[in-house]
Structure 1
C-alpha cells in the first residue's frame, strides 16, 4: 500500500477522496447508531455536506473520457446528487421509512458500488491499495496493464455499448422496487427467475469446470439461506387474483448494482490483468458472488409470495378485488 499515487493526483481527486472516506465512516455510524438524536442529526448534516462535495468534485475528474470529458462513472455522480436531495427531502417531511431507504441507497450505491469501481485496475485507488506494477502506460499495451490511466480508459472504451444502457436500466428497475406495489405472483418472480437463469447459464452450456461449479453451488445455497433469513419475520400479504402486496425495499437495487459490478469487474480483470483471474479463489469469487446475490433476490421474492421455509410466522390475507 502506498499513498504516492494519491499525493501525485490532481486536487480534484484528492478532494474527492478526502470527502468520500469520512463520509463512508460517518454513514456507517449513522446506520448502526441510534436514530433521531441531536448527534444523529448533526452527523447527518456533516455527511450530507461530504456527499455533496464528493459528487461535485467528481465532475472535475476526467481520468476516463468517453463522452467528451465525461464517462459512465459520472452517471453515478448525478444519481448521488439526486439521492442527497431525496435524503434531505424525506427527512424534512419526516418520512423516515423513505429517508432510511435513501440513506442506505447512497451508502451502498454511491459509496459501496462506486467505490468498488475505483479499485478496478488502472484506477488510482487500485494503485494505492495494491501498489503499481511499475509499467508505463505509454510503453505497455492496455491489455497487459495492471495499473495506469490507459488501462482504465481501455476498460471503459472496450466495453460493449449495451453495457451502459443496461446499467441505467438496472438502476431504474432497482429504484422502482423501492416503493410499495401490488403485483401478480408471476411478475414478482419474473426478475429473480431471469437472474437465476443468467447466473446458471454456464452450467446449462457446459462452460464451467468443477471448481466453478462448486463455487456456484455454494453461492446458490448461501444466497437462498440469506434471503430467507432476511425475510424470516416478514408477513406475506396475498390478495385476490393471485396477487401479492410487496413492500418497498432497497436490497433489490443494491443486489442488481452489485451483480453488475462483479460481472463488469470480472471482464475488466480478464482484459487487463488475466493472471489475476487465475489466482486461487479469485475466479471462484467472481462466479459465486453474482449467484449469491441473485439467490438472495429469488429467496426474498419467494418469501414475499408466502413461501418461506424459515419464516417465524405467516399470514395470508384475502382482500376484496377493489383493494
Structure 2
C-alpha cells in the first residue's frame, strides 16, 4: 500500500515543479516591472473608481473568475461525487468557460494582441470538455487531474499574473 501512495505524491511534486517553472518563465519578462512596482506598493482600500472605468468585458471576466475561484475552493474542500459536488461542478465549468472565453477579448497586456496568458485560456477551453468527458466515462483520475490543473493554472496562476505592477488589478489594489 505505501508504494501506491508514493506515485501520487511524486506526480503532485512533478506537477508543482512544472507549474512553478511555467510561472517563473511567465514572470521573467516582467521582473523589472515587478521589482520597480514592489517598492511602490501601498496597502489601502481598493480604488473602485478604476473598476467603473473598465470595459464591460473585463468586468464580466473578473466576475466570472472570482465566481470560479469561490466555487472551485468550495469544491476542493468538500467531498467529491455527491449531488452538491456535481451541481457546484457545473457552475464552476460555466464560470471557467466564461472566464476563458471573455479573456480572449482582453488584449491590453500585449499592445492589442494576445499574450502568453491567453495560452491558459486556450488550454481551459479545450480541457473543460475533455474533463467532462472523462468523468462521464468514469475516468475519475483524469477528471480530477484536469480540473485541479485548470483551477491551479487557469485560475490561480492567471489570477496572480493580473496583479503584476502596471496592470489594472495592481493599480486598483496597490497603486
The answer to whether the superposition gives a TM-score over 0.5 is yes
Alpha-carbon distance between aligned partners in 2 of 1:2 and 1:86, rounded to the nearest angstrom? 39
**Structure 1 residue 82: deviation in Å?**
1.8
| Structure with the higher helix share, 1 or 2 | 2
After the TM superposition, which residues 92-241 of structure 1 pair with which residues of structure 2 at under 5 Å, given as runs?
A: 92-130=136-174, 132=175
Q: Quote the residue 2:105 is aligned against.
A: 60
Q: Quote the residue 1:289 is aligned against.
A: none
Alpha-carbon distance between aligned partners in 2 of 1:108 and 1:69, rounded to the nearest angstrom? 24
**Structure 1 residue 32: deviation in Å?**
1.2
8 A Cα contact 1:30 1:43, kept in partner: yes
8 A Cα contact 1:90 1:96, kept in partner: yes
Q: Quote the residue 1:41 is aligned against.
A: 86
Q: Quote the residue 2:119 is aligned against.
A: 75
1:215-245 alpha-carbon deviations (Å, 9 max, x no partner): xxxxxxxxxxxxxxxxxxxxxxxxxxxxxxx
8 A Cα contact 1:6 1:125, kept in partner: no
Partner SS, residue 54 of structure 2 = coil
* 1:20 aligned onto 2:65: yes
Alpha-carbon distance between aligned partners in 1 of 2:55 and 2:173, rounded to the nearest angstrom? 18
TM-score computed with the length of structure 2 as normaliser = 0.70
Partner SS, residue 61 of structure 1 = coil
Alpha-carbon distance between aligned partners in 1 of 2:135 and 2:91, rounded to the nearest angstrom? 15
Partner SS, residue 149 of structure 2 = helix
**Structure 1 residue 6: deviation in Å?**
2.0
**Structure 1 residue 61: deviation in Å?**
0.7
Alpha-carbon distance between aligned partners in 1 of 2:125 and 2:173, rounded to the nearest angstrom? 28
8 A Cα contact 1:20 1:54, kept in partner: yes
Alpha-carbon distance between aligned partners in 2 of 1:129 and 1:73, rounded to the nearest angstrom? 21
8 A Cα contact 1:20 1:50, kept in partner: yes
Ranges in structure 1 where 5+ consecutive residues have no aligned partner: 133-323
TM-score computed with the length of structure 1 as normaliser = 0.39
Alpha-carbon distance between aligned partners in 2 of 1:94 and 1:3, rounded to the nearest angstrom? 45
**Structure 1 residue 55: deviation in Å?**
0.5
**Structure 1 residue 83: deviation in Å?**
2.1
Identify which of structures 1 and 2 has the higher relative contact order when contacts are C-alpha pairs closer than 8 Å and 6+ apart: 2
**Structure 1 residue 65: deviation in Å?**
2.8
Partner SS, residue 65 of structure 1 = coil
Q: 1:7 aligns with which of 35, 40, 52?
A: 52
Of structures 1 and 2, the larger Rg is shown by 1
1:121-166 alpha-carbon deviations (Å, 9 max, x no partner): 1111111221x3xxxxxxxxxxxxxxxxxxxxxxxxxxxxxxxxxx
8 A Cα contact 1:55 1:80, kept in partner: yes
What is the aligned residue count? 130
**Structure 1 residue 89: deviation in Å?**
1.4
